[in-house]
Amino acid sequence: MHAAHVGEADRAGEIIDVKGPAGTPPYLVRFDDGHQGLVFPGPDAVVEGRPVEDLSGDTAPDSPSDG
């Protein structure tokens, strides 16, 4: 999140739980300093997604092979 006041540093964190229905805020966020808190992202927040990890353990390529 971008700082709200001049001289304050931006803050980064990881969403560790979604408290709202259907993936909506509030989000439980763990910040880089270890602090956790509920966040209702405002216009100063940037929420970036991460790629979903393949939990099946399959390391095969996504495209079919000509075998």
Condensed to tens digits (0 to 9), the pLDDT of residues 5-36 reads: 788 778 888 999 999 999 899 999 999 999 99
Asked if residues 36 and 19 have their Cβ atoms less than 8 Å apart, the reply is no
Structure tokens at 44: 């100063």
Does the predicted TM-score (pTM) go above 0.75?
no
- Amino acid found at 33: D
- Return d(Cα 15, Cα 49) in angstroms, integer: 10
DSSP conformational letter for 21: G
Sign of the CA dihedral running 42, 8, 50, 55: negative
pLDDT for residue 44: 77
